[in-house]
Structure 1
Amino acid sequence: MEKIWHEIYSDDIPRELKLPEMTIYEMLQKSAKEFPEHKSFIYNDIHLSYRDLKNSCDKLAAALYSKGFRKGDRIAVMLPNRMEYIVAYFAIQRLGCIMVQVNVMYQASELHPILSDSQASGMICENVQKEKIDALGLGDQLVWIIVDNEQTEESSFARLLEEQHGPLPDVEINPKEDVAVLQYTGGTTGKSKGAMLTHYNIVSNAYQNIVFNCLERNKEIILGNSPLFHIMGLSYINITVFSAGTFIIVDRFKVEKVLNLIKEHKPTIFVGAPTMYVALLQYENLTKDDLKSLRICSCGTSPLPNEVISKFEELSGTKIIEGYGLTEAIVTHRNPVSDKRKAGSVGVPLPNTDCKIVDAETGTEEMEVGQSGEILIKGPQVMKGYWNNQVETNLSIRNGWLYTGDIGYMDEDGRFYIAGRKKELIIASGYNIYPIEVEEVLYEHPAVMEVCVYGIPDSYRGETVKATIVLRKGMTCTEEELKEWCSDKLATYKVPRFYEFRDELPKTAVGKILRRKLVEDHSNEKKESSLY
């Protein structure tokens, strides 16, 4: 069915794709067969060809099988960005097991609900993480595979790769029905839920992205800065392997290290969160030559301020391609690589993806062009549901549509814009205020490096607006100056009443600002002050 946004597609991008019904492991098999000697992943001094990657995955899968793992078993992976993560991911898929993604920064209280909910029977992690899980009393129910530089454990990752086992039996996997990954929601909005992503969800979305972004098979080099345990990092692993490209694993984002990697490997695609682009702009020695190999700079996890986009593109000479996605549907929207884009837009739905805006109250009335409401998604990338949580599944997926919980609107050309989360909406004296529109104005101020806007309780207005700000190094600014700045550009009810200056903002592992944490901090400060 023809959609209004199809007019924005380039002529060589199909509106509908014939999506491959293959497993994630079959995706690796295909690239390894066609390009066995091509580099698949680079991590520091380790360079794995597609043949070597497949062989390592097969060895680990055989070792896991010998330990009793079978189709449908959940194996938790709690690893930072390193080569073992990649091998573990594809080995788990070879067996038809389910990989449970675990954030390496989580502490015991955050780990317990995930491990209990998923009922994981295996854990692949570094030794430092084992102590956290043992403290929960869950250690005895897990088969441990320890990844460390000093491989001394009997069940160490390296030793398992050295073991000799017979051939693995074939495992019958239904790509559309069988779950490949449990990706737990990020916790920026509350209790985590395990999104069930099938092989079909993941492979289809990789193909959608490759076609829409006009990626060339066996030619792209992707510099991956996102944590691999995050949906954005996982997405680019699959895009890389489907397209038989090369992926450079960055263990931790540091500007000088990243610029050296760009110089050495000449990547064509840069993957980063908004805070990474801000950090690059702050680097005094950055020049256009440093980034000349890049064809696409991809940005996700949260909106990138227009001011940052324009400054970065002017300096680098390359384009930042913003998109939209979420744990429950991976990637759903992209800006086209062509010039058909508008500032502030997350682009248009990918091929085979439908999207509409409905009223946020009932979720039943479709909104007019330009009117804000909740974003609904339908497509092959939409999750099967939430693990062990039919109630939340029924609330989130209705009549085939995923209710995202995000607020946005569509313009007259079919481009989509994100205004914020439903739960982030500030209602002051009956007026709806979306934090992002206030943040955009504050980001334009020359002294502001980072900002987060949120609502706080107000006895008269119900809620009022507060801004927490990080200033650029060596610059100063007062609350009164920012109030005046905002008053010239915003309606009075949108101007923040309160300002807080900090050295840094709380963030998730992927650099997403934790708005909820700032709200909690404000609440705790009010409680403490009321005691005196």
Structure 2
Amino acid sequence: MSLHIGSFVRHHAISTPDAPALRVGEEAMNYRTLDRRAAGCAARLRDLGVAAGDRVMIILPNCVEWVVLYQGALQAGAIPVPINPLLAAAELAAIVADCQPRVVFARAAIAAQLRQSLGDGSAVIDIDAQPFTANEADPRPLPSAGSDDVALILYSSGSTGLPKGVELSHANIFWNAQAFAFDLLRLTPQDRGLTGLPLSHVFGHTCLYSAFLFAGASITLVERFDATAVLGMIHSQKITVFMGVPTMYWTLLREPIPESYDLSSWRACVAGGQALPEDVHRKFEAKFGVQISEGYGMSEASPSVTGCRLWGAPRKYGSAGQPYLGVQLRIVDDEGRDMPRGERGEILVAGPGIARGYFRQPELTAQTFRNGWLYSGDIGYLDEDGYLYVVDRKKEMIISGGYNIYPREIEEVAHAVEGIYEVAAIGVPDDRLGERIVAYVVLEAGASVPEETLLQRCGDQLARYKVPREVRFLDALPRNATGKIDRRRLRDLGRESQ
């Protein structure tokens, strides 16, 4: 059976061609125009030699060009690979080298950086210098695609600091889009969605972008989150659904509401990326009169696993909700034995959203996807009603401002600074970011390394959100009985010094 996520736009281009699909500022693009612009883009991609199964990398912020390139790649039978443009040049180069895309689209500065680092820039297109998305064409039939065929690849850094591409199938995205559109949000074509999340992030890509196109609703595109602008758009564009990470809700909570604003269209919010503090959750709902659904997911689940239903189910603050239709959960100990309700263990997930695996990483795929179950590496428990609570992370990942950050990425950069003997990066609780990064540093005997030197090196080689917010110097890092760095003790030190 052919199942293709390009049919989201194609279906509505035929059934409701004049309905708005995208909004940028006060301008709107309907489904017919989006489909025709994507068809024009697909034709140009074919002229470049892009064939079925080739990878098309899109390193752009949220914009019309992103959407047209993404849909154009799908119509050409290619595999879109959206990448966050906030990544540092070295990180982007590593991902490009791993993915080996047929063509890369970026704006001028990033395109120039990639050409320099790659040596051969023939496949890197500066979207500012070569407009690629303005021409329309008569749409061709969508390529045939099996439900398990790769639809797209989403990249995130692995725990080793190496690039990790998650292969998501057409069936994965179909299932996730309908779960959010109907089970959670009950979307109609009259809904208008807004997010400050990058569409290259699985939350922004699937939960908002794919779900709203699936439902024939419209999406307002913004390049970055700004609380004042978000409230202005909810008022002026009659936004119905907002999605964001906890940092955004923390910021909106502190934003004054102009007396002239009418926010009555706003009916639902979704929070993800990391746990939403209960205090922020309650105060936000009280201030705006809009309920927030908090959920649990990950790229490997495309991403939705559980969600707190907005209607017809009990509200449990602090919970990530109940599984979506078709999702199964297990909580297991280190030996793989199932834990009773209320007992903590690793969260295992099975269901129609589980990814095919990691791109060209069979060993990591076999380690993470076992016997039909996704081993999440997260620690949680189920209560008596089947609500999931995520309480800790088995892995050492830091989640700051909704971004996943692995300590080794920071530590590798810091270790290269002359005079630094040891370093360990951890996350400590932060009201706004969820966690902020603190680097604990041990210097070589007699060395002197100013904090500014380390932060400058990190800023040069890492995305801004990965740069530590604070550096603390110690005589030695705490270690456990086996000689490993005791990160739990470091986190305790971080809390004690707040």
TM-score interval (norm. to shorter): 0.7 to 0.9
For 1:270 and 1:382, how far apart are their aligned partners in 2?
Answer: 25
**Structure 1 stretch 52-61 or stretch 286-295: which is displaced more?**
286-295
Match in the other structure for 2:494: none
**2:2–2:144 contact (8 Å) kept in structure 1:** no
In 2, Cα distance between equivalents of 1:300 and 1:171: 33
Partner SS, residue 376 of structure 1: strand
Residues 219-268 of structure 1: CA distance to partner in whole angstroms, max 9, x if unpaired? 21111221111111101111011100011112221111111111111111
Could you tell me whether the CA contact under 8 Å between 1:196 and 1:383 is conserved in 2?
yes
1:204 is aligned with what amino acid? W
Pick closer, same or farther for the CA change 1:365–1:319 going to 2, 3 Å: same
8 Å CA contact retained: 2:115, 2:124: no
Distance in 2 (CA, whole Å) between partners of 1:98 and 1:469 is: 38
Report what 1:345 is aligned to. 319
Distance 1:413 1:469 in 2: 30
Once the two structures are TM-superposed, the CA of residue 138 in structure 1 deviates from its matched residue by 4.6
Instruction: Please give the alpha-carbon distance, in whole angstroms, between the structure 1 residues aligned to 2:221 and 2:304.
Output: 20
Structure 2 Cα separation of the partners of residues 258 and 172 of structure 1: 39
Equivalent in the alignment of 1:397 = 369
2:82 aligns with 101
Cα deviation for residue 285 of structure 1 reads 3.8
Rounded to whole Å, the distance in 1 between the matches of 2:464 and 2:387 is 24
Query: Using the alignment, how far apart are the partners of 2:370 and 2:27 within structure 1?
Result: 46
Shift of 1:284: 3.4
- CA deviations on 1:448-494 (whole Å, 9 max, x unpaired) are xxxx9x9xxxxxxxx9x98465799xxxxxxxxxxxxxxxxxxxxxx
1:19-418 to structure 2, matched below 5 A, reads: 22-140=3-121, 142-148=122-128, 153=129, 155-158=130-133, 161-162=134-135, 168=140, 171-176=143-148, 178-186=149-157, 190-235=161-206, 236-285=208-257, 290-329=262-301, 330-338=303-311, 339-359=313-333, 361-362=334-335, 364-418=336-390
TM-score (normalizing by structure 2): 0.78
Dislocated runs of 4+, deviation >6 Å: none
Q: CA deviation at 1:31?
A: 1.6
Task: Go from structure 1 to structure 2 and tell me whether the alpha carbon gap of 1:345 and 1:206 turns closer, same or farther (over 3 Å shift).
Answer: same
What one-letter code is carried by the residue in structure 2 that aligns with 1:251? E
* Match of residue 420 from structure 1: 392
Q: State whether residues 273 and 512 of structure 1, in contact with CA within 8 Å, keep that contact through their aligned partners in structure 2.
A: no
Relative to structure 1, the CA distance from residue 335 to residue 527 in structure 2 (aligned partners, 3 Å threshold; closer, same or farther) is same
Deviation at 1:172, TM superposition (A): 2.6
1:311, distance to aligned residue in structure 2 (A): 0.6
Write the distance in 2 (CA, Å) between the matches of 1:96 and 1:292: 42
Aligned partner of 2:29: which letter? L
Residue 271 to residue 115, structure 1, CA distance change in 2 (3 Å): same
Which AA in structure 1 matches 2:191? E
Q: How does 1:448-527 map to 2 (within 5 A)?
A: 467=428, 469=430, 517=468, 521-522=471-472, 525-526=473-474
Aligned equivalents of 2:63, 2:329: Cα separation in 1: 36
Q: Spell out, residue by residue over 1:81-107, the C-alpha distance to the aligned partner (whole angstroms, 9 max, x if none).
A: 111111111111112211112110112
DSSP 3-state at the match of 1:193: strand
**Closer, same or farther: CA 512–22 of 1 in aligned 2, 3 Å:** farther
* Contact map agreement 2:297 2:306 (CA 8 A) in 1: yes
Distance between the aligned counterparts of 2:464 and 2:326, measured in 1? 28
Q: Cα gap change, 1:163/1:283 in structure 2, threshold over 3 Å: closer, same or farther?
A: closer
CA distance in 2, matches of 1:389, 1:221: 38
Q: C-alpha distance in 2, partners of 1:467/1:98? A: 38
CA distance in 1, matches of 2:163, 2:40: 33
Q: Secondary structure at the match of 1:291?
A: coil
Query: Counterpart amino acid of 1:224?
Result: T
The alpha carbon displacement at 1:37 in A equals 0.4
> Aligned equivalents of 1:185 and 1:471: distance in 2?
23
- Return closer, same or farther for 1:180/1:408 CA change in 2, 3 Å cut-off: same
Aligned residues: 426
**Cα contact 2:114–2:124 (8 A) shared by 1:** no
Distance 1:209 1:466, change over 3 A: closer
- Give the equivalent residue in structure 1 for 2:413: none
Distance (Å, rounded) in 1 between the aligned partners of 2:371 and 2:69: 36
Do the aligned residues in 2 keep the contact of 1:358 with 1:365 (CA within 8 Å)?
yes
Q: Is the 8 A contact 2:234 2:240 kept in 1?
A: no
Q: Tell me which residue corresponds to 1:478.
A: none
**Distance in 2 between the 1:466 and 1:231 partners?**
22
Q: Deviations over 1:265-303 (max 9, x none)?
A: 111111111111111111234679653221111111111
| One-letter identity of the residue aligned with 1:240 | F
8 Å Cα contact 2:37-2:135 kept in structure 1: no
Displacement after TM superposition at 1:180 (Å): 1.5
- Report the identity percentage: 31
Check 1:282–1:214 CA distance in 2 against 1; reply closer, same or farther (3 A cut). closer
Shift of the 134–513 alpha-carbon distance from structure 1 to 2, 3 Å rule, reads closer
User: Given the superposition, is the C-alpha separation of residues 261 and 268 from structure 1 closer, same or farther in structure 2, using an over 3 Å criterion?
Assistant: same
**Cα deviation, residue 414, structure 1:** 0.3
In the superposition, relative to structure 1, how do residues 91 and 528 fare at CA in structure 2: closer, same or farther (>3 Å)?
A: farther
Deviations 1:371-394 (A, max 9, x none): 111111111111000000000000
Instruction: Determine if contact 1:146/1:157 at 8 Å carries over to the other structure.
Output: no
| Partner SS, residue 56 of structure 2 | strand
Which secondary structure does the structure 1 equivalent of 2:153 belong to?
strand
CA distance in 1, matches of 2:474, 2:285: 42
Native 8 Å contact 2:185 2:268 kept in 1: no
Distance 1:84 1:259, change over 3 A: same
Provide the residue aligned with 1:477 in structure 2. none
Closer/same/farther in 2, CA of residues 163 and 48 from structure 1, 3 Å limit: closer
CA RMSD in angstroms comes to 3.2
Give the secondary structure class of the aligned counterpart of 1:162.
coil
Contact conserved, 1:299 with 1:321, CA < 8 A, in 2? Answer: yes
Separation of aligned partners in 1, 2:131 and 2:109: 13
Alignment-mate amino acid for residue 83 of structure 2: V
CA distance in 1, matches of 2:35, 2:136: 16
Contiguous gaps of at least 5 residues in structure 2: 408-423, 434-457, 478-498
